[in-house]
Structure 1
Amino acid sequence: MDPKTADLKKAGLKVTVPRLKILEILENGGEEDHFSAEEVYHILREHGEDVGLATVYRVLTQFEQAGIVRRLNFDNNTSRFELDRGDNHDHIICMKTGLVKEFADPVIEQRIREIAEEKGFDLVGHNLVIYGTYKQEQDNDTEE
């Protein structure tokens, strides 16, 4: 059985062409890809798929409820989606370009647990987003 089909069935979702295509787009994106519903819709249209934007929103919401994707809400009020790979990571976003980079830092994770404990909370999750401007010349320096 195709892994995508198995993922959908395991999540209790009926296997449909739009669901398979949307899951494929999310899987083919790299770690740095965080798609909006509109971006998924445009990719589908570029590949000749006859899927409406409302269907894309509905499928992404179903995927979120099933634990297949995570919905991320950054400052621009646009929801972005990434596959839920079961890992814990945070995000840093370029305010100029919208570029999103993922990172994980054990020191930050430990400090978050300590803060929750100090404040009397049982930590169930967190969402850390750092905003800045990406220094593109860093990429050029490492390529030389």
Structure 2
Amino acid sequence: MNEIDRRTEKLTSALRDAGVRITRQRAALLSVLAEAEDHPEAIELQRRAEGVVPGISLSTVYRTLTELESQGVILRHQFAGTPARFEHTETTHHDHMIDVDTGEVVEFANDRIERLQAEIAEAMGYEIVHHRLELYVRRKSSTRTAE
């Protein structure tokens, strides 16, 4: 079984465990979500699933995503000023940079940042149990004018 099939099965099992019926439309959505290497919005997930099996409503997409999130198999990211975006939990830890001009989301991992966060927490008498780092960025440009 390849990685995408394994992810799809994990998402499917989570819905079944929650008592949700797996329709053709939901199966298409789960497949699209398992394949996603980006951070698609619900509308984009609907568009992709529609390309596989027509007839999936946006309300079905939202209900399915909400249930998958409650089952802990997807993550909802609510970056400032943008609609919620989703990703499966089958990823290694990473942080995000959000381009404020284009909305592009760039994943990155940096050992120095991870160590520094742990050092800061330790110095203040804490240990990190969970964290999320979001950097809102803009590309540098020599032709960019001051705003």
**How would you bin the TM-score normalised by the shorter chain?**
0.7 to 0.9
- In structure 2, which of residues 78, 88, 98 is the aligned counterpart of residue 93 of structure 1? 98
**SS in structure 2 opposite 1:102?**
strand
Greater Cα offset, 46-55 or 7-16: 7-16
Q: Report the CA distance between 1:114 and its aligned residue.
A: 1.5
Identity of aligned residues (%): 34
Greater Cα offset, 3-12 or 88-97: 3-12
Letter in 1 for 2:79: F
Letter in 1 for 2:64: V
- In structure 1, which of residues 5, 9, 12 is the aligned counterpart of residue 13 of structure 2? 9
Deviations 1:16-48 (A, max 9, x none): 133321221122222xx1011111122223444
Does structure 1 residue 130 correspond to structure 2 residue 135?
Answer: yes
Please provide the CA RMSD for this pair: 2.4
Does structure 1 residue 74 correspond to structure 2 residue 76?
Answer: no
Q: Report the CA distance between 1:98 and its aligned residue.
A: 0.8
Q: Which runs of 5+ in 1 are unaligned?
A: 137-144
**TM-score (normalised: structure 1):** 0.79
Q: Which runs of 5+ in 2 are unaligned?
A: 142-147
Runs ≥4 residues deviating over 6 A: none
**TM-score (normalised: structure 2):** 0.78
Number of aligned residue pairs? 134
- In structure 1, which of residues 98, 106, 131 is the aligned counterpart of residue 111 of structure 2? 106
Deviations 1:85-132 (A, max 9, x none): 141100111111111110011110111112222223331111101111
Does structure 1 residue 18 correspond to structure 2 residue 22?
Answer: no
**SS in structure 2 opposite 1:70?**
strand
Cα 1:65–1:87 change in 2 (3 A) is: same
